[in-house]
Chain A
Amino acid sequence: MDIKNQVCEEVTIRFAGDSGDGMQLTGSLFTNTTALLGNDLRTLPEFPAEIRAPAGTVPGVSSFQLHFGSKEIMTPGDVCDVLVVMNSAALKANLSLLKKGGLIIANTAGFDKRNLKLAKYPEGANPLEDDTLSSYTVYEMDISKMTKEALSDMDLSYKDVDRCKNMFVLGLLYWMYNRPMDSTIQFLNKKFGKKPDVAAANIKVLKTGYHFGETAEIFSSRYTVEEADLEPGTYRNITGNESTVLGLVAATKKSKLPLFFGSYPITPASDILHGLSRYKNFGITTFQAEDEIAAVSSAIGAAFGGSLGVTSSSGPGIALKGEAIGLAVMLELPLVVLNIQRAGPSTGMPTKTEQADLLQAFYGRNGESPMVVVAPSTPADCFQMAFEASRIALEHMIPVMYLSDGYLANGSEPWKFPQEKDLKNIEVGFESPREGSEEPFLPYVRDERHVRSWAIPGTKGIEHRVGGLEKEDETGDVSYDPDNHQKMVKVREAKRDKVADFIPRQEIDQGNDQGDILILGWGSTYGSIRTAVAELRKDGHDISHAHLRYLSPFPRNLEALLSGFDKVIVPEINNGQLVRVIRDHFMIAAEPINKIKGRPFGVAELKEDILNIISDKQIPARTKAS
């Protein structure tokens, strides 16, 4: 049988199986190999909140979606071209995400009577046997059995053998998409260094999968995806949480300050604690606190002592930290608060993404409690914005909220990483020691940016007290004076607002700097909006895209920029939060587009929503934007 070789511009593969089937690892390994081949890519891991939900059931399904191509790839793909299902529950949970005519690779061992029952298919029904899948191309194979056979001559436990079956899938897909196996083989040898027989078994099954593709004569095509046209340079693949960690490490190096990280484990932020805990050689102290409040409080204590104090959490934990963040506002100490948002309220959907903590960041503390808010827009951008959050906190003696989310945290993309020499120094200094004869030290005297000095314990002659009670201007003494309180509220706000002079101007990401429509996004929606706007522009719409990374204060030129458009549309993964702030700040009739499903925007649905608003407003599509 002749096997055709087809060239594709882009492909989306979704690996789905039981939580114990190793689909996240399979997806990550395919991603790394694909990145090394020079494709652009985006990934979306999706897994249940439970560690091991009942095996074989729909709630126990874990998936990993990878979108890669030779063109610019900014989203993990709305629907997939290839769906790998290790059992019937995985098919049930994911079939709606496969495009019509798409390809299914099904492990028949996962479609036996027991598995069909666990996945709650009706008695006697088997989607592989009825016409459920008639509009797809289905490749059925008993992956479990072939894995067992491949390892029949090895002395391994049943469990160890069964765990290798994901490598069969990986090998098969490497064959289908013309990818080399060497980087995966290296990985397996390293991972199972202490168990060479397990490493050998995994590698053997990987190769068996690859050779199966070659020899089974059931596949009519192989596919090639050429290198993407990425900017020249050296790249690596990175997830949002990893690049957040690196941004903080870079900030500690470039500020020459020790980093103190106080945190309490919470999904999807815990990987930041795990990551930083490995880099103590950079002068980083990590403290797994007893709770969220102790986590932020310890970071404030360390900041009082002159460290870069950082705490991390997700929405529920940020709520608990609120009072202490207010203390940092009052003390005017640098503090970085990382919020890796997830779907709420309450415990909500811990492993699902959402952008619904923006108003909490703006307003979610008692009293007038202004802080800086920044948000990364892509997994790699987490590096830049974590660095920026640290820079602003340290240079302006102010707490900064950093709003990432589950999608950025776990998603990955190729990153043209910087070198240390390309990064700017973060300029910080401490209040100098004094002799007794000099004027007494006043902790709340400010410079022209309204910033007070950092006066750390251990410094002679500047012993002083700070606290959560209202401060008298300059002296920092406790004050209940009405005029002083109003003045201090205003000055803390002015200090936050002044940060706008030290951040970049807002730029238009794509399109003209004035026109009919501006899509204004923030945070993790960047990729979806960018792709949707590019496609709409291709269709002739006069539409532009600007993406906010600095949210409080806004860039100085934002008002002028918004005024250049007839209509401003704000898509968000929440029930309409930035749109309210924009209306409030700039008195414009900004329109929301909201998706609140725990998943990022699909490009098609976003385009449709934008077009609906455009047609409602009867703004004609122009013939090709100039």
Chain B
Amino acid sequence: MPLETKIDDFINSNGNTEEEAVSYSSKDFSSDQDVRWCPGCGDYTILKQIQNVMPDLGVPKKDIVFISGIGCAARFPYYMDTFGMHSIHGRAPAIATGLKVSRPELSVWIITGDGDSLSIGANHFVQLLRRNVNVNLMLFNNQIYGLTKGQYSPTAPEGTISKSTPFGSIDHPFNPLSLSLGADGTFVARAMDRDPRHLKKMLNRAHEHQGASMLEIYQNCIVFNDGAFELFTDKKSRPRETIYLEDGEPLVFGKDKDKGVRLDGLIPQVVELNGEYSKDDLWIHDETDTTKANLLSRFFEHPQNGEHLKFPRPFGVLYAVDRPTYDEGVLAQNEYAISKREANLDTLLAGPETWDVK
């Protein structure tokens, strides 16, 4: 017999379950709080796209929870008219794990930044991915510490001049997608604030994926790191320096779709599609191929002034595979334990051996 708890009773009680036809507009997800990011911040478009995508999810508002850590991006939950928690620095994945494991029916979204998830909270970030907790993690990457007014971040390229590194940063940056793949993340994708349509598509994909969905979003910090991703977001350079991945499609890019990536064994090559090579020679994207996903995540050189990148920066879903989720596993084990043994408190309190004193 399943254990009935107050939460089950309560959630299934009348007045709570009567489902009005869930037809929301994006406005329904906008809270009454004034948004306080800097004018022109990339966070605005991301907020807008998340609010836009929410009505499409088919999830009642009452079942959606946004959890953030600390940083500019972490203010996000205040602006969503859902359940939300603005927690402490780096710990949102741990809080989300506790919530999701205890309430698996909820749709849980983590909003985090490069400092929050790759510096102070890096441990929780990789643990969430390896456990494959069924939540969506939105990593707003702006390669800078904004809220603390402009120190270099763990994704800032070597040599970054910032308040704390007036002579240039020395440490080597994280490659967030390689890190995620290394942690055996089951969904690894990248989007950017300046391409809202693609971003919306990626948000949908992240939601659909059963497991920990890691979506890195390039986000421009207009005050402390303006133009960090300009090479990828600028209409002129974008076609040459980026590649949009589609499952089952060849890796084609360039203004006139005149370039592609082929594999020579395991060595990727950029080729011109001008006769010697055609689309048939190219690498066909396969979201379930770990080796290829790792190769793609390594298309990660840092732009040098005026030079083209050797490999275009990939956007889209690099990797998406099914693996049992942590929350399902916990639930199954708990249910098994409940079915196996009666929860008799008196027997438990008495323990293995008792004696009577008369």
Contact = CB atoms under 8 A, between A and B. Distances in A.
A419 B346 contact: yes
B98 A432 contact: no
A309 interface: yes
Contact of A294 (B97, B357, B358): B97
Interface string B74-93: 00011011111111100101
Nearest to B29: A463
Contact of B357 (A233, A242, A246): A233
A293 B349 contact: no
Given A258-B102, A298-B97, A249 B348 contact: yes
B94 A463 contact: no
B11 interface: yes
B103 A236 contact: no
B63 A301 contact: no
Contact of B355 (A231, A235, A303, A430): A235
Contacts of B81: 463
Interface string A440-468: 00000000000000001111111111111
A120 interface: no
A183 interface: yes
Contacts of A465: 31, 33, 77-78, 80, 83-86
Contacts of A417: 349-351
A463 B6 contact: no
A489 to B, nearest CB: 19
Given A433-B16, A465-B31, A260 B77 contact: no
Interface string A271-285: 000000001111111
25 contacts: A37-B355, A235-B354, A235-B356, A236-B351, A250-B349, A281-B341, A285-B101, A297-B87, A301-B102, A304-B95, A305-B103, A306-B102, A324-B88, A324-B91, A420-B346, A420-B349, A457-B64, A458-B11, A458-B105, A463-B62, A463-B83, A465-B31, A465-B77, A465-B78, A465-B84
A464 B64 CA distance: 11
B205 interface: no
Contacts of B124: 290, 293-294, 297
A36 interface: yes
A461 to B, nearest CB: 7
Nearest to A457: B83
Contact of B63 (A235, A237, A284, A458): A458
Contacts of A255: 6
A339 B137 CA distance: 32
B123 A467 contact: no
Interface stretch (B168-176, B280-288, B329-337): B329-337
A36 B80 CA distance: 61
Max chain B CB contacts within 10 Å: which of A289, A307, A463, A466?
A: A463
Nearest to B105: A458
Contacts of B64: 457
A196 interface: no
Contact of A230 (B99, B101, B341, B357): B357
A260 B101 contact: yes
B337 A304 contact: no
Given A301-B99, A433-B15, A290 B351 contact: no
Interface in B318-358: 330, 333-334, 337-338, 340-343, 345-346, 348-351, 353-358
Max chain A CB contacts within 10 Å: which of B61, B106, B353?
A: B353
Contacts of B351: 236, 238, 242, 417
Given A297-B88, A309-B98, 11 more contacts: A37-B355, A234-B350, A249-B345, A253-B345, A258-B102, A294-B93, A331-B85, A420-B349, A457-B106, A465-B83, A467-B87
A279 B10 CA distance: 24
Interface in B1-60: 3-7, 10-11, 13, 15-16, 31, 33, 60
Contacts of A299: 98
A7 interface: no
Contacts of B99: 301-302, 304-305, 457
Contacts of B243: none
B204 interface: no
Given A283-B343, A331-B85, A36 B101 contact: no
Contact of B67 (A232, A285, A301): A301
A464 B342 CA distance: 38
A399 B83 CA distance: 21
Contact of B337 (A242, A260, A281, A457): A281
A226 interface: no
Nearest to B97: A298
B106 A305 contact: yes
B290 interface: no
Max chain A CB contacts within 10 Å: which of B4, B84, B123?
A: B84
Contacts of B33: 465, 477-478
B91 A461 contact: no
Interface size class of B (residues with CB under 8 A): 35 or more
Interface string B99-123: 1111101100000000000000001
A233 B83 contact: no
Interface class of chain A by DSSP: mixed
Contacts of B13: 433
A313 to B, nearest CB: 15
Interface in A166-221: 183
A514 B127 CA distance: 58
B65 interface: yes
Contacts of A54: none
B340 A294 contact: no
Interface string A241-256: 0100010011001011
B188 interface: no
Max chain B CB contacts within 10 Å: which of A183, A307, A458?
A: A458
A594 interface: no
Given A36-B353, A467-B85, A301 B7 contact: no
Nearest to B351: A236
Given A285-B330, A459-B16, A298 B101 contact: yes
A558 B349 CA distance: 33
A126 interface: no
B349 A246 contact: yes
B102 A461 contact: no
Contacts of A469: 86
A302 B88 contact: no
B96 interface: yes
